[in-house]
């Protein structure tokens, strides 16, 4: 199990960029696949991006492909979500989530795949 804390959210104009961080505590971080999800008011939580334990495999929602990049630094126990060309539709509470796995190349894209969740960081994109 890992404890996850997101940071880096804020208010940005459309077209701008933000970098979210997901800092983990726990000795098994390098064995955890990490995902990013978001939830806008009145909407269900949706998948954004995910990385495998090594960072060698990643996946993205179609809505963010080409604009967002997920990466991780296992030495720092941190996963990043670089968000460029932000749109008002990206406004949401962003969560990172972790899942212990023995499959180093696998990514997980479903909410139910993850067992550990952070509290979220708010991203607001103004038009």
Q: Is the dihedral of CA 31, 56, 23, 14 positive or negative?
A: negative
Alpha-carbon span 116 to 71, nearest angstrom: 18
φ and ψ at residue 64, rounded to 5 degrees: -120, -5
pLDDT tens per residue across span 49-69: 999 999 999 999 999 999 999
Residue 116 sits at φ, ψ, to 5 deg, of -120, 130
How do residues 74-127 score in pLDDT, each as one tens digit? Answer: 999 999 999 999 999 999 999 999 999 999 999 999 999 999 999 999 999 999
pLDDT of residue 44: 96
């Amino acid at each position: 199990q890992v404890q996850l804390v997101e940071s880096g959210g804020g208010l940005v104009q459309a077209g701008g960029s933000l970098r979210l961080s997901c800092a983990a505590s726990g000795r098994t971080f390098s064995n955890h696949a990490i995902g990013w999800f978001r939830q806008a008011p009145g909407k269900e939580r949706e998948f954004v991006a995910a990385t495998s334990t090594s960072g060698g495999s990643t996946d993205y929602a179609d809505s963010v492909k080409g604009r967002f990049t997920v990466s991780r630094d296992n030495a720092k126990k941190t996963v990043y979500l670089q968000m460029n060309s932000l749109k008002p539709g990206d406004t949401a509470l962003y969560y990172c989530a972790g899942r212990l796995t023995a499959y180093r190349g696998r990514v997980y894209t479903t909410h139910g795949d993850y067992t550990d969740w952070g509290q979220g960081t708010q991203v607001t994109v103004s038009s």
